[in-house]
């Protein structure tokens, strides 16, 4: 089913007739993609029926993306007239793939009709408005072969689609970067700076940032819905600096099809999104909800959920959108026991041979849309959160992982390479992990270990001065193990130290009696 957008534009013009809605092609390298100054990426909005990206250059009929854009969700506390504390769950979106709507406006209310509130390109004179990003010497600051910049906000509540019809109060400063070098010609990177500029100066908390996407490959009509989804949450790769194999979070989602397209010059490429920069965690985050992978406080949050949107009109409320962003199944959510509906990633296996990570099975092909998210985090008034997302067209399945590792090397100062599939599977089968069931204990400390292959595991309790006060475990872990250690330690702060091979993992705990 085709998603037509011109009704949205009519709606926008009707309620904000003087606002200047602008769009422009990013067209410097092989991946051409449309951007707007109201939160929509990868859609030719003004045509209403034309895809907003194509690849490679020179083949405008070989199209990708029917649209994408950011979502931002947050909780906002306020007092009622009777002095009762209430909490609003709020979401503002730049592109809703189910309804083809946007809740952002160019600039802010009162300025959106200014022609300078536009999409700027570093390769254009921008109708005489020049390039707005300057360095400290007031020279044009340009980072790539083609930069773009625009500014939008959610500050007009008339654009809110769902109850409670309230804006969060954020402004978004969007940048993009594209290069012509062979190694980067299929990539466009977007940076989003999101600032809490609420009129009441309130803190917004439990925030989530998402990208919703409908990366159509060719024409997804009712008779040609043949796409599949895949993702790489973690993968064992080689650290070329140390020579050691490491389990790395890859933060990558992709869409592909197994069929060729009639009239195309080659087999279709594979669009992927790679989350390459996010804020740091403000507390430990249990990524899968089972203790299997903990994102520690002060580590970069990274990708925390990936949700395929299975029904055409879902999610159809603010609360449902926020639940999707936070990794919950909004259809089964029980507020009295939210953990039961926590599904941060689909439970897929290796569905299609030759594609990295996990994929749907071939018989599950269809018209696909999805949301990727990171969070939670808080934003004080005037505080900024920065995110970077790479939009990539991969010529082959092998390029999905290659391009992700390339992006990590360029923008995260890492140096990883892929490992032979047989060796990687063996390593992941024998990977070791150690985690605690909680961070406050009484008379018993409870922890889990998984298979440690042939390396010794040494776990001790240290006091606040770093002195060893208790040995918990020493030896090889031949199978998953739950260890419960009774102790007579006094109440206070301690550290659990786990030494495994060349790794030294330390976690802080409290003992309260």
Give the number of other CB atoms < 10 A from CB of residue 62. Answer: 21
Q: Is residue 9 part of a domain?
A: no
Least Cα distance to 271 among 259, 255, 251 occurs for 255
Name the range with the highest mean pLDDT among 168-172, 219-223, 235-239: 168-172
Mean pLDDT of 98-117: 84
- Is residue 439 domain-shared with residue 300, that is, in the same domain? no
Average pLDDT in the chain: 88
Looking at 351, 381, 411, the residue that finishes a domain is 411
Looking at 411, 446, 476, the residue that finishes a domain is 411
Q: Is residue 419 part of a domain?
A: no
Domain containing 466 equals: 431-509
Q: Which residue did the predictor score with more confidence, 483 or 468?
A: 468
Mean pLDDT of 391-410: 96
Q: Give the CATH number of the domain where residue 44 resides.
A: 2.70.98
Max Cα–Cα distance, the chain, nearest Å: 75
**Residue 100 pLDDT grade (very low, low, confident, very high; cuts 50, 70, 90):** low
Q: Which residues contact 81 (CB under 8 A, 6 or more apart)?
A: none
Mean pLDDT of 384-411: 96
- Is residue 69 domain-shared with residue 200, that is, in the same domain? yes
SS3 120: strand
Number of domains in the chain: 2
**Residue 81 pLDDT grade (very low, low, confident, very high; cuts 50, 70, 90):** low
Q: Which residue did the predictor score with more confidence, 78 or 281?
A: 281
432, pLDDT greater than 70: no
Mean pLDDT of 446-451: 74
Q: Which residues contact 105 (CB under 8 A, 6 or more apart)?
A: 12, 16, 19, 38, 112, 152, 153, 154, 155, 156, 159
Instruction: Provide DSSP, 207-257.
Output: EEEEEEEE--BS---TT---EEEEEEEEEEEEETTT--EEEEEEEEEEEEE
Q: Give the CATH number of the domain where residue 476 resides.
A: 2.60.40.3080
308, pLDDT greater than 70: yes
What pLDDT, on a 0 to 100 scale, did the predictor assign at position 223?
53
Q: Which residue did the predictor score with more confidence, 496 or 435?
A: 496
What pLDDT, on a 0 to 100 scale, did the predictor assign at position 13?
47
Containing 271, the helix (H) or strand (E) segment is: strand 270-277
- Is residue 401 domain-shared with residue 450, that is, in the same domain? no
Distance in angstroms (rounded) separating the CA atoms of residues 441 and 460: 15
Mean pLDDT of 432-445: 75
Instruction: Provide DSSP, 412-469.
Output: S---EE---HHHHHHHHHT---EEES-SEESSEEEEEE---TTS-EEEEEE-TTS-EE
Mean pLDDT of 400-422: 88
Mean pLDDT of 474-486: 76
Looking at 361, 376, 411, the residue that finishes a domain is 411
**Residue 474 pLDDT grade (very low, low, confident, very high; cuts 50, 70, 90):** confident
Q: Which residues contact 405 (CB under 8 A, 6 or more apart)?
A: 237, 416, 417, 418
12, pLDDT greater than 60: no
Q: Which residue did the predictor score with more confidence, 97 or 361?
A: 361
Mean pLDDT of 66-92: 89
Quick: pLDDT tens for 109-131: 878 778 899 999 999 999 999 99
28, pLDDT greater than 90: yes
Burial of 426 (0-12, 13-18, 19+ CB in 10 A): middle
Mean pLDDT of 439-459: 75
Q: Is residue 424 part of a domain?
A: no
Q: What are phi and psi of 406, to 5 degrees?
A: -65, -45
Q: Return the structure tokens found at 419.
A: 């490992």
SS3 258: coil
- Is residue 269 domain-shared with residue 317, that is, in the same domain? yes
Angle at 379 between CA 378 and CA 385, to 5 degrees: 100
Q: Is residue 6 part of a domain?
A: no
What pLDDT, on a 0 to 100 scale, did the predictor assign at position 468?
92
Q: Is residue 16 part of a domain?
A: no
Q: Is residue 418 part of a domain?
A: no
Distance in angstroms (rounded) separating the CA atoms of residues 395 and 186: 9
Token pair 């087999």 is found at 267
Mean pLDDT of 30-54: 91
- Is residue 392 domain-shared with residue 456, that is, in the same domain? no
> Would you say how long the chain is, in residues?
513
139, pLDDT greater than 90: yes
Q: Which residue did the predictor score with more confidence, 177 or 494?
A: 177
7, pLDDT greater than 60: no
Mean pLDDT of 65-79: 93
Q: Return the structure tokens found at 12.
A: 């926008």
What pLDDT, on a 0 to 100 scale, did the predictor assign at position 324?
97
What pLDDT, on a 0 to 100 scale, did the predictor assign at position 19?
67
Give the number of other CB atoms < 10 A from CB of residue 299. Answer: 13
Q: Return the structure tokens found at 110.
A: 């009162």
**Residue 4 pLDDT grade (very low, low, confident, very high; cuts 50, 70, 90):** very low
Least Cα distance to 496 among 429, 442, 439, 444 occurs for 439
Least Cα distance to 276 among 417, 388, 374 occurs for 388
- Is residue 407 domain-shared with residue 453, that is, in the same domain? no
- Is residue 332 domain-shared with residue 228, that is, in the same domain? yes
What pLDDT, on a 0 to 100 scale, did the predictor assign at position 72?
99
Q: Which residue did the predictor score with more confidence, 497 or 35?
A: 35
- Is residue 400 domain-shared with residue 299, that is, in the same domain? yes
Distance in angstroms (rounded) separating the CA atoms of residues 199 and 195: 12
Q: Is residue 134 part of a domain?
A: yes
Q: Return the structure tokens found at 333.
A: 């959510």
What pLDDT, on a 0 to 100 scale, did the predictor assign at position 445?
85
Quick: pLDDT tens for 160-206: 989 999 999 999 999 999 999 999 999 999 999 999 999 999 999 99
**Residue 5 pLDDT grade (very low, low, confident, very high; cuts 50, 70, 90):** very low
503-511 and 440-441 strand pairing: parallel
Q: Is residue 139 part of a domain?
A: yes
Containing 44, the helix (H) or strand (E) segment is: strand 43-44
- Is residue 48 domain-shared with residue 124, that is, in the same domain? yes
């Amino acid at each position: 089913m085709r998603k037509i957008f011109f009704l949205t534009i009519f709606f926008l013009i009707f309620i904000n007739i003087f606002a200047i809605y602008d769009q422009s092609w990013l067209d410097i390298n092989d991946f051409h993609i449309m951007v707007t100054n109201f939160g929509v990426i990868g859609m030719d909005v003004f045509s209403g029926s034309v895809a907003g990206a194509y690849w490679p250059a020179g083949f405008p009929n070989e199209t990708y993306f029917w649209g994408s854009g950011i979502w931002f969700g947050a909780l906002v506390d306020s007092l009622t007239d009777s002095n009762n504390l209430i909490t609003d769950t709020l979401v503002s979106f730049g592109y809703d793939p189910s309804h083809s709507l946007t809740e952002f406006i160019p600039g802010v209310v009162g300025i959106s009709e200014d022609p300078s509130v536009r999409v700027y390109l570093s390769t254009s004179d921008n109708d005489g408005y020049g390039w707005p990003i300057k360095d400290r010497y007031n020279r044009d600051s340009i980072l790539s072969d083609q930069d773009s910049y625009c500014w939008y906000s959610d500050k007009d509540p008339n654009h809110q689609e769902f109850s409670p019809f309230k804006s969060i109060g954020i402004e978004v400063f969007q940048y993009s970067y594209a290069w012509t070098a062979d190694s980067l010609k299929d990539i466009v990177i977007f940076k989003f700076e999101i600032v809490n500029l609420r009129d009441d100066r309130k803190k917004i908390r439990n925030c989530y940032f998402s990208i919703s996407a409908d990366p159509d490959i060719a024409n997804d009509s009712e008779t040609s819905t043949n796409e599949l989804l895949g993702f790489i949450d973690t993968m064992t790769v080689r650290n070329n600096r140390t020579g050691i194999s490491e389990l790395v979070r890859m933060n990558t989602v992709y869409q592909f099809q197994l069929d060729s397209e009639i009239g195309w010059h080659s087999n279709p490429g594979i669009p992927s999104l790679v989350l390459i920069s996010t804020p740091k965690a403000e507390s430990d985050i249990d990524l899968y909800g089972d203790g299997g992978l903990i994102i520690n406080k002060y580590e970069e949050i990274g990708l925390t959920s990936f949700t395929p949107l299975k029904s055409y009109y879902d999610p159809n409320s603010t609360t449902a959108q926020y639940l999707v962003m936070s990794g919950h199944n909004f259809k089964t959510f029980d507020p009295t026991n939210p953990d039961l509906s926590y599904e941060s990633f689909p439970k897929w296996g290796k569905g299609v041979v030759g594609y990295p990570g996990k994929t749907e099975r071939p018989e599950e092909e269809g018209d696909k849309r999805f949301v990727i998210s990171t969070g939670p985090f808080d934003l004080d008034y005037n505080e900024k959160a920065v995110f970077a997302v790479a939009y990539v067209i991969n010529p082959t399945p092998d390029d999905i992982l290659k391009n992700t590792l390339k992006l990590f090397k360029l923008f995260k100062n890492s140096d990883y390479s892929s490992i032979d599939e047989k060796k990687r599977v063996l390593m992941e089968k024998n990977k070791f992990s150690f985690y605690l069931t909680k961070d406050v204990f009484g008379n018993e400390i409870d922890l889990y270990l998984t298979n440690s292959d042939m390396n010794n595991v040494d776990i001790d309790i240290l006091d606040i001065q770093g002195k060893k006060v208790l040995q918990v475990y020493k030896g090889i872990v031949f199978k998953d193990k739950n260890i419960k250690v009774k102790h007579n330690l006094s109440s206070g702060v301690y550290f659990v130290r786990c030494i495994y091979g060349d790794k030294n993992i330390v976690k802080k705990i409290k003992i309260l009696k």
